[in-house]
Amino acid sequence: MSKSFPGPKTKAVLERGIPLFRNGLRYAEESAKASRRGYRSVRQIVVDRAEGDFIWDMDGKRYIDFQNGWATNPVGNAHPEVIAAVHEAQKRFGFHYDHPLRYDLAEKLAEIMPGRALPRFNYEVSGTEAAEAAIHLALTYTQRRYIVTFSSCFHGESIGTKLASGYTSDSNRYLEAWTGGVIKAPYPYSADIPAGMSESQYVDYCLWYLDNHIPKCITPKDNIAAVLIEPGLAEGGNWIPSTEFLRGIRRLCDNNGWLMIADEVLTGMGRTGAMWAVDHYEVIPDILVVGKNLSGGIEPCAGIAAKDEILGDNLDFSSGSTFAGTPAGCAAGLKTLELYERYDLVNQAKRLGELAKEIIQAWEEFGIVQQVRCNGLLMGVGFKSPNPDEENWWYARSVRGRMLENGVWAISDHEDTIRMYPALNMDEQTLRDGLEIMREAIEYVDTHGQLEGDSPAWPTGVAGF
């Protein structure tokens, strides 16, 4: 394996980030410390070019793209038709808030919403803004004060969505005075089940917590406006909930007058091999949060879809900033949906997901693999350390590092999972090649132990990584 990864040009750009971006001070200090111990630099790259299933770093090295712009490029990198549609909208409108494309896209979205039951749409710029808008909509519509969210969920990086997220308590540090309206409930993972409980008992416990623990110990049921749930944890490690859980949430919402908000920013628009992840469960939420894929990988576009009565007449709800629903963003969304129809992309994602599942589920035989998770092209591999004094996530890091060195780009932040989000139209052979490189990386780390430089001596966060 090359000792000089990343290449010199990529490294030079990364080093320019040290005085500019967050954690730069820590990076310099930690790098110096680590290099004194003979460790290599953290495996990080900068994209010089992106096209279709691939990206290239500053040194011209090519990677199969499982990172997918953090799961925002459903039709592959820099799709020429989406780019052309965006340019055309920019030339015609520049930026104005009131333009016909926002009507065209809202009509299309109403047609594809679960059960066609969420016809009203409110544009937002990002998934974060959209998740926040959904919360405000629920509070104002029900005139109640609490939202229930879950452990390991991620809804964004604004103050409101940080407080609603449960994937790490670190991101709530120093925001303690801002909390109050969010109740965090346990999400039933398929691993890390409390000792002695079966998977199905754990699901029952999580539903019991909502139905009994919260009203007895935290707030009465009629104080709760909504349950905000990811129907597939994304940033929290690509966990896939059971049908029993999702339907149980719907039932509790119906019984108690709570709104069910599905945050489908990452799971939505085909990522799981269905248009919406809730479709797998035959559950229709009251509010659905959309983002990421709707941009077609080119221009941000996000928003919330809601039932008629919830968003049709609610003077207390306000949201939607200046750049919400730009002509370019709506043009990207419209062209993307046209490509979905033309190439039957949701079914293509389903087919590729099934193929990938068959390949990756065999990896549970490796000692360092804790669990393989796959719902369509929402794929995750969880890792475990064979040694009690080593963290699980070091192993995820090591495998991801070796994959990167061998030409596959996937996501693993400070987590014990590697997450993969191939484009919904990825070439089948490219997907197979990428997975084979990943398998080899797992085998390598399984045999040789974690790579040098993947212990906590190695910082993250420079250049937003």
Ligand X SMILES: Cc1ncc(COP(=O)(O)O)c(C=O)c1O
CB nearer to ligand X: pick between 158 and 347: 158
CB nearer to ligand X: pick between 264 and 454: 264
CB nearer to ligand X: pick between 189 and 366: 189
CB nearer to ligand X: pick between 10 and 68: 68
Cα 12-71-383 angle, rounded to 5 deg: 80
CB nearer to ligand X: pick between 227 and 266: 266
Q: How far is the CB of 141 from ligand X (least distance, A)?
A: 20
Q: How far is the CB of 165 from ligand X (least distance, A)?
A: 8
Q: How far is the CB of 329 from ligand X (least distance, A)?
A: 12
Q: How far is the CB of 27 from ligand X (least distance, A)?
A: 23
DSSP for residue 307: -
Q: In what order do the strands lie in the sheet with 369-375?
A: 369-375, 378-383, 417-420
Helix (H), strand (E) at residue 215? helix 214-217
Residues forming the site for ligand X (CB under 6 A): 126-128, 131, 154-156, 230, 234-235, 263, 265-266, 291
Q: Are 193 and 200 in contact (CB under 8 A)?
A: no
Helix (H), strand (E) at residue 53? none
The dihedral through the CA atoms of 448, 366, 357, 392 has a sign that is negative
Q: Is 126 exposed, middle or buried (0-12, 13-18, 19+ CB in 10 A)?
A: buried
Q: How far is the CB of 230 from ligand X (least distance, A)?
A: 5
Rounded to whole angstroms, the Cα distance separating 465 from 70 reads 11
Q: How far is the CB of 290 from ligand X (least distance, A)?
A: 10
Q: How far is the CB of 262 from ligand X (least distance, A)?
A: 10
CB nearer to ligand X: pick between 369 and 396: 396
Residue of minimal Cβ distance to ligand X: 127
CB nearer to ligand X: pick between 263 and 286: 263
CB nearer to ligand X: pick between 57 and 230: 230
Inter-helix orientation angle 80-93/327-343, to 10° = 150
Q: How far is the CB of 442 from ligand X (least distance, A)?
A: 25
Q: Where are the beta strands (DSSP E) in 180-335?
A: 182-185, 224-229, 259-263, 287-290, 302-306
Measured CA to CA in angstroms, residue 429 lies from 18, 74, 426 at distances of: 38, 17, 9
Rounded to whole angstroms, the Cα distance separating 135 from 143 reads 12
Which phi and psi angles does 69 have, rounded to 5°? 55, 45
